[in-house]
Structure formats: C-alpha cells, structure tokens
Amino acid sequence: MNDTSTSFDVIIVGGGPAGLCAAMYCGRGMLRAVLLERGLTGGELLNTEKIEDYPGFISILGPDLAEKMTEHAVHFGADIRTEDVLSIVRGQDGLFAVTCSSGTVFRAPAVILTAGGTPNRLGVPGELEFAGKGVSYCAVCDGAFFKGDTIAVIGGGDAAVEEADYPTRYASKVYIVHRRDAFRASRLVQERALANPKIEVVWNTKVLAMVGTERGLTHLDLENTVSGARSQLAVTGGFIFVGFTPNTGLVQQHFEHDPAGYILTNDRMETSIPGLFAAGDLRVQLTRQVTTAVGDATTAAIAVEKFLTARKSKG
C-alpha cells in the first residue's frame, strides 16, 4: 500500500520560478503535487538584486519576487518540502522514485524537473562580494542598469561574445576580456561583435580580481597571459560568461540532450523519458529568463494533467 505522505500525482524538483509556477498550476488543477527544494525557494532570484523585466513589476528586488511567487503557490495549496534530491529513476511500473538525502523516497507517475542550472564562476577575489553590485551572469537581465557606463564581459565563447553586443545599447563602452588570442565563438557572432564600435577586445588577458567599494565594482585587476604584465581596467560592471552547468545529473537514466547537456523537450515540455517533464534553465531554448521559466512551467503543469488523464484511461 502506498504511503500517502510520499506518494503523489506529480513531483516537482526545484523551487525556483519554474518550480513555484508549476506548483501553483498543479494546485489549481487539483493535482496531488509536492515541490522539493533543498534550500529557500526562489532559485537565482535570491541572488539577483533588481528585476525590471518581469511583467507587472517595473522594478522589484529578486528576493521579494521569490517571496511573492512562493506565497502565490502556497495560496493554491502547494506542498513545499525542504529536501535535497539525490536521484530520479523511472521504474518499470511507470512510477518515478525520487530519492532524497534524508532517506525519504517520493513516488509519482510524473516528475517536473525545474532544478535550473549554475553559472560557472571565475573563482577570483571579489566575484562573490560584488555579485549584484556590478558583477552579473546575465547581460539581458542586468544590462539596463549600466546606462552610460563602461563595462567588461569576461569569456570568449558564443555566450560571452553574443551577450557583449546586448549591453552596448546602454553602456558607453564594452570590453571583452579573453584569456586567449582568438574567440571560440562562431564566426557570425564574432563578426557582429567586432563590427560594433562600442566593443573593444582585450586579448590574452585573465582577470585576477574584481575590486570595488561598498557602492559597487570599480575595476578589474588583470594579467596578460603572454607577458605576465599586470594592469587595471576601470569598469562598473563585470559580466561573466565562462559556462553554465544545467542541473541534470539527478536523472539516472539516459535522456535526449544537446552537446552541452541541456535537456531536449517537445512543445509540451516532455523529455524522452515518459512522464518526465523539464522546465526552465536546464532545457534547450533560445534564452533563459524568469519569464521563459514560468512559461515553460505553465506548459509543463498543464501537460502533466493531460498525461495523467491519458495514463488513467489506459489502465
């Protein structure tokens, strides 16, 4: 006999915007759902100072938006539990076993994975200290805060070079700091960036430290990777693009994904594993914003309802 405290219609793994939105929709849909999150709900919102691109809020602090989203989900009956998920496995009976570090195993015929991802850090002094005070991992999210400023983008892949173009509509100058003498970005992306008069590339250079005052970032300490010469670059913004790791390692079975590990889904957010849905930053998509995360989650929650209805009719 199933334990009703650990058996559900759907298990939502991850408590960021996508997870909270999915929980809210599942609650409205009268599904027995549980949301598992190892820490405070809100995800990357908790690490974001201001948000100015979420409809309905001209400007709102990230933690405040996280709190409002959590309250909204709970209002519609969201069952949020603090659990550190270790693995997600689909059994031959079609039920998923979601095992947590506490030893608890949750079971359901459907899982919505909204565990997001983690921007790779430079790992230099000042990076964490000035996060939200000049240091950012999303140019689209934060570029508008640097009107008329001089900023730097750190990295040399597609994300770095492509994102460097976006803040030029606000900043007066954008430096791309790259540790090598050539970009890894695609040729088209490189040509667009190099043709922009506001962009200047600092080749063969790595960031040693991110420095500032209580008011925010003021400059980067740099070192030339060829000569060893050190210098400072005066900037008020440092956008770091040295990779992003989707949190997909929880799924213990093979699923279709792109070369970077992002999950491939169909238009219903279904993965290649029946009953496993993915929403938010860990799936393949054009951009990763709060708005796209909640859009994904809306689709996933409604698709889960239809999946469960079809499953019941079969058996």
Active site residues: 138, 141-142
Tell me how far apart the alpha carbons of residues 155 and 204 are, in angstroms, rounded to a whole number: 11
Nearest Cα neighbor of 88 from 308, 310, 198, 253 is: 253
CB 222 within 8 A of CB 177: yes
Backbone angles phi, psi at 77, to 5 degrees: 95, 15
Tell me how far apart the alpha carbons of residues 34 and 106 are, in angstroms, rounded to a whole number: 9
Pairing between strand 276-278 and 110-113?
parallel
Coil, helix or strand for 273? coil
Q: Which amino acid is at 120?
A: N
Tell me how far apart the alpha carbons of residues 161 and 147 are, in angstroms, rounded to a whole number: 19
